[in-house]
Structure 1
Amino acid sequence: MLHDMSENHEKSSSGAANGSSFNEDNERNHPDSEALSLPSSVAGSGTLDRLVDTARDYARAAASDNTLRAYAKDWAHFARWCRMKGADPLPPSPEMIGLYLADLASGSGPSPALSVSTIDRRLSGIAWNYAQRGFTLDRKNRHIATVLAGIKRKHARPPVQKEAILAKDILAMVATLPYDLRGLRDRSILLLGYAGGLRRSEIVSLDVGKDDTPGSGGWIEILDDGAVLTLNAKTGWREVEIGRGSSEQTCPIHALEQWLHFAKIDFGPVFVRTSRDGKKALEARLSDKHVARLIKTTVLKSGIRAELPEKDRLALFSGHSLRAGLASSAEVDERYVQKQLGHASAEMTRRYQRRRDRFRVNLTKAAGL
């Protein structure tokens, strides 16, 4: 995936000599993974060419599809900005990157100022793209580090967290769904995602069995007492145990069994699209965007936070609301919640707990006041 650095310098200098600027269309037509190739000193062969293709496949799997899409957009935006300023994004220039960050924060152009977290993500995307092209971006360079530190000091705000979906909320949301095939599927998605504290990408990546499909992100084993989900998540492989509920109406495992039975799914993706009339399960795996749309739709239909305008209600909830809901609602030892969510630290788990422990311990009174 790495360009030879001298080759990049040669291309950059030859482009400048010809009076040509960076061509964004050419950049789009040459994916980063295609940059991985044999050294110029090694003669190609059928075996080596196949290994190059295999290595490119592994390189593309180094990050999630969502991350790769975000990084591609970050690079395209930065490359376009450089072109408009009469500069070339290759090789990396800390001075230009510092000016780019300042432009993003100030909102001096037609676009509004970006949040600190978005600017930080843009910088990560740019650094990642440089790495794929054989360059190293020194984020500690004073032209970058001091500008970014100033942006954070001047513009940083508390993180905006999505609202947690609590137990009463998920029951109200599920109650809005019909009992046709599509409704069975969506009911299973909501209950399983909530009880498992799953990311929306984890929900839709599940297969019925191990190694059912190449694009699988995990599989399900249904047992008498519940189900064990084996997930290949962003923190590595982990197992998630989801026990059976107190009633069939609210049990995520019963909902899953109902969906699999009536959809006649015993192999491949667990959650697939349905026909237009909602009566037949198709083969195509659902997109994770369906989970986000499902949450917002059922939130509106169920009347959650009905005192707010519709636009504000939609902005409050997302796929992460399921994970935050489990963390906030489960009255158990924090260690179990941390394990279920797959967090490396208890501090990260506490970020998901929306007001659960607020004023539970009153240090004012404990201090004698």
Structure 2
Amino acid sequence: MSENNEKSSSAQPNGSCVNEDDGRDPTSSEALTLPTFVAGSGTLDRLVDTARDYARAAASDNTLKAYAKDWAHFARWCRMKGIEPLPPSPEMTGLYLADLASGLGPSPALSVSTIDRRLSGLTWNYAQRGFTLDRKNRHIATVLAGIKRKHARPPVQKEAILAEDILAMVATLPYDLRGLRDRAILLLGYAGGLRRSEIVSLDRHKNDTPDSGGWIEIMDQGALLTLNAKTGWREVEIGRGSSDQTCPIHALAQWLHFAKIDFGPVFVGTSRDGKRALEARLNDKHVARLIKRTVLNAGIRSELPEKERLALFSGHSLRAGLASSAEVDERYVQKHLGHATAEMTRRYQRRRDRFRVNLTKAAGL
């Protein structure tokens, strides 16, 4: 049973046009083929299919979906302006970015980060079609620099879920099978500082399923998670908590035991009556919905209207919560979250001792 049970134009490089609103990933069609001068064979055809599989794995599913939407939007814009999206034109790309930022058309102006993402999507899509879009071309680079200078704002960050918040959230969950699962998701995601995609991609053991994003080893002192994450493979150590009520490892063990999960995906759907675990892996959107639902039920930030409260929290609130609540040396948090730099870790810390190192006094003032 899937998540639903619970609630639940472009052209090719040769110039021939296809439906610009088609959001298909170009890596799955003719973008990877044999050269015209090579005679096909069963072995070579299988290698083409293998290469396509690797090409699809070059980015996450969410990234590929976003890039497909970026291309569809740009192709539709080109059609409305009476031009073709191929071959790439830096001049037209610059005009497109200006249109996105100006808000003069029927659509509202986009944020700088969204415009930057749209440009990345176009660059990727052109590359899959055998073209190169030069982001350093003056028609693109100068327009984008001007947009950033004029419209850039401090990043809007999601609210961190702090220790007292996560305890209040899990307290709202029942102790039926579905409640045991959701409790394990929240506590494991919080203690591990995990992305929502990392949570639902976990398998019970190594190589259990083809779509696995990692696996779990439960030990006496805690659990070791081996993750194929956004930045590559990494290990995350999650120790046991101070009590069974707040321990992520105890919550995980309870879910695995009563759900009878000893192989395959760790977090799966349940039957409508909530008494039986199914085989289908949960979608990462379940984590986001779970966070928002338990935030409301726990009364967190109850002084705000419900719509504003829901907008404050997302899957990233778990990572930000751990980074903000863990009172340890910053380098340990950085390693735990898999960040390449301490500066990235600091972006997740909503509260910290900012003036622990006082360079003013250290300089003699």
The one-letter code sitting in structure 2 at the alignment partner of 1:98 is G
Shift of 1:357: 2.0
Give me the whole-angstrom Cα distance separating, in 2, the residues matched to 1:38 and 1:314: 49
Question: What's the counterpart of residue 61 of structure 1?
Answer: 57
2:15 partner SS: helix
2:234 partner SS: strand
2:326 is aligned, of 326, 330, 333, to 330
1:186 partner SS: helix
Asked if residue 226 in structure 1 is aligned to residue 218 in structure 2, the reply is no
Q: TM-score, length-normalised on structure 1? A: 0.93
Shift of 1:94: 0.5
1:91 partner SS: coil
Question: What's the counterpart of residue 351 of structure 2?
Answer: 355
1:11 partner SS: coil
Asked if residue 182 in structure 1 is aligned to residue 186 in structure 2, the reply is no
1:48 is aligned, of 44, 51, 65, to 44
Aligned residues: percent identity? 88
Question: What's the counterpart of residue 246 of structure 2?
Answer: 250
1:1-369 counterparts in 2 under 5 A? Answer: 8=13, 10-11=14-15, 23-24=19-20, 27-28=22-23, 31-34=26-29, 35-360=31-356
The one-letter code sitting in structure 2 at the alignment partner of 1:11 is G
Q: Deviations over 1:137-171 (max 9, x none)?
A: 10011110010000000000000011111100000
Q: Deviations over 1:158-187 (max 9, x none)?
A: 000111111000000000000000000000
Give me the whole-angstrom Cα distance separating, in 2, the residues matched to 1:277 and 1:30: 38
Give me the whole-angstrom Cα distance separating, in 2, the residues matched to 1:217 and 1:105: 37
Give me the whole-angstrom Cα distance separating, in 1, the residues matched to 2:52 and 2:119: 24
The one-letter code sitting in structure 2 at the alignment partner of 1:286 is L
Shift of 1:232: 0.3
Aligned pairs, number: 354
**Aligned-CA RMSD value:** 1.7
Give me the whole-angstrom Cα distance separating, in 1, the residues matched to 2:23 and 2:364: 65
Q: Deviations over 1:285-311 (max 9, x none)?
A: 000000000000000000111111111
Give me the whole-angstrom Cα distance separating, in 2, the residues matched to 1:193 and 1:280: 23
Question: What's the counterpart of residue 19 of structure 1?
Answer: none
Tell me which moved more, 111-120 or 274-283.
Answer: 274-283
Stretches of structure 1 that go unaligned for 5 or more consecutive residues are 16-21
2:224 partner SS: strand
Q: TM-score, length-normalised on structure 2? A: 0.94
Give me the whole-angstrom Cα distance separating, in 1, the residues matched to 2:169 and 2:363: 43
Q: Deviations over 1:178-229 (max 9, x none)?
A: 0000000000000000000000000000000000000000000000000000
Q: Which has the higher contact order (CA 8 A, sep 6+)?
A: 2
Shift of 1:110: 1.1
Stretches of structure 2 that go unaligned for 5 or more consecutive residues are 1-10
